Structure formats: C-alpha cells, structure tokens
C-alpha cells in the first residue's frame, strides 16, 4: 500500500475526546522505549511525525495520525515505565484500558515486543490480559538489527512458546527494524487487507 499522506491530528487524554470513531484504526502499544513512535515514522516514511526519544516515557497521550485521508494510526504511551508516580501510572493504565476495550473502530492492536530480550513478565501479562478481554492483536518484534538473526529467532520462539502454554490460538507476528527498514511492507499489507475488509478507501 502506498502512503500518500500522513497528518498529525492531535493528542488526547481520554477516549471520550478522541476523534469520531468513523474510520478503521490501528494502534501501537508496548513497553516504554520499545519503538512504537519510531515504527509509525517508518510506516509513514516520515522522520518526525511521531515524537521519539532515547529515554522511556516520551509518549504520554493518545496521539492520532490520519493516513491517506481515510484511516488512523494511533500512538499510545508505553507500559512498564518506572519513573512516574503510582497515581500517574494508574491514570495511564486506565486511559489505555479504556481506549483498548471501548474504541469501536479499533481493528487491530499491535503489541510491540523488544526482540533483544527473553520473554518479559510485563509483556506476557499484557498479552494475556488482551486474551482475556478478547481484543484482537498482532505482535511486532522490534529492533531486530540489534542482535544476530539466531538470537532474535530464539527470543521470538520463546515468547510464542510462552503464549502457547496459555492460549490455543497464537496471533500473527512480524519482525521490524527501523535501521534496516524491514517489516514495513508486511505490516502495511495487513492494514490494507483489513481496510478493504472493513470498508475504507485505502
């Protein structure tokens, strides 16, 4: 799919204030610093559309980007960020939960997992929670340029095995690197397929 236009729409702190739920929507979630905002920039071919940072906790709101005038990409704050107060973290968690569970036009949630790491408890807890809430999701293993292919493959296998021990069906997954610019076509292809299925002019 060609990305002809990608525009920042706005940042929102609760679901009620988000743009009208009338377009197919895809959101990115995952631990702070895993590469959510960077991935949005890679997908849209724009360097600074979503703000990125070497320090975790950069994205703190629900950020909307309108693509090809017809569907939305949504950048969410990360989970597992230690350097905020308990109250602030609870506020974020509530905001994210509300968005994920109630957003009617959210077609697929992409859960980003750092491919350099062995399975982490907070990622597994998060995907298990999604399973319980019956939220459709896809996993994206990020930063694959940082490790050897065999090390990356080992971590991915271990993560999927952990999921398999709990769930009968495994979600699809992708591998990405913003350095190698890999994974872009596959993810956009999936979105295009969904856009057609859900009635958007992509």
Ligand X SMILES: Nc1nc2c(ncn2[C@@H]2O[C@H](COP(=O)(O)OP(=O)(O)OP(=O)(O)O)[C@@H](O)[C@H]2O)c(=O)[nH]1
* Strand pairing category for 25-30 and 106-114: parallel
Q: Does 63 bind Mg ion (CB under 5 A)?
A: no
What's the min distance (Å) between Cβ of 136 and Mg ion?
22
Euclidean distance between CA atoms 61 and 40, whole angstroms? 15
Q: Out of Mg ion, ligand X, none, which partner does residue 57 contact, by CB within 5 to 8 A per kind?
A: ligand X
Radius of gyration for the alpha carbons in the chain, expressed in angstroms and rounded: 16
DSSP one-letter code for 56: S
Torsion of CA 29, 88, 11, 32, to 10 degrees: -30
Token digits of residue 170:
């495994």
59 binds Mg ion (CB under 5 A): yes
| Smaller CB separation from Mg ion, 91 or 154 | 91
Binding residue for Mg ion (CB under 5 A) from 37, 72, 176, 195? 37
Residue numbers at the binding site for ligand X (CB under 6 A): 32-38, 52-54, 56-59, 77-78, 142-143, 145-146, 176-179
| Contact flag: residue 32 with Mg ion (CB under 5 A) | no
Q: What is the dihedral of CA 4, 60, 187, 182, to 10 degrees?
A: 90
* Residue 146 binding: pick among ligand X, Mg ion, none (C-beta 5-8 Å cut-off by kind): ligand X
Q: What is the nearest approach in angstroms of ligand X to the Cβ of residue 28?
A: 8
Helices (H), 10-85: 36-44
Q: Near Mg ion by CB under 5 A, which window of 55-63, 106-114, 163-171, 173-181?
A: 55-63
């Amino acid at each position: 799919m060609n990305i002809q236009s990608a525009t920042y729409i706005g940042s929102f702190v609760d679901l009620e204030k988000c743009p009208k739920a009338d377009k197919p929507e895809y959101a990115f979630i995952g631990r702070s610093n895993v590469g959510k905002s960077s991935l949005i920039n890679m997908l849209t071919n724009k360097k600074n559309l979503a703000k990125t940072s070497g320090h975790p906790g950069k994205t703190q709101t629900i950020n909307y980007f309108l693509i090809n005038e017809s569907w939305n990409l949504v950048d969410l704050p990360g989970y597992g960020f230690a350097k905020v107060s308990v109250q602030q973290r609870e506020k974020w968690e509530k905001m994210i939960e509300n968005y994920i569970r109630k957003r009617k036009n959210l077609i697929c949630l992409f859960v980003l997992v750092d491919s350099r790491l062995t399975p982490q408890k907070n990622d597994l807890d998060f995907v298990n929670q999604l399973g319980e809430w019956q939220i459709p999701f896809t996993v994206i293993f990020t930063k694959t340029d940082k490790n050897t292919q065999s090390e990356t493959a080992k971590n991915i296998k271990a993560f999927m095995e952990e999921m398999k021990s709990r769930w009968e069906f495994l979600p699809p997954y992708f591998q990405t690197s913003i350095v190698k610019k890999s994974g872009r076509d596959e993810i956009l292809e999936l979105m295009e397929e969904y856009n057609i299925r859900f009635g958007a002019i992509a």
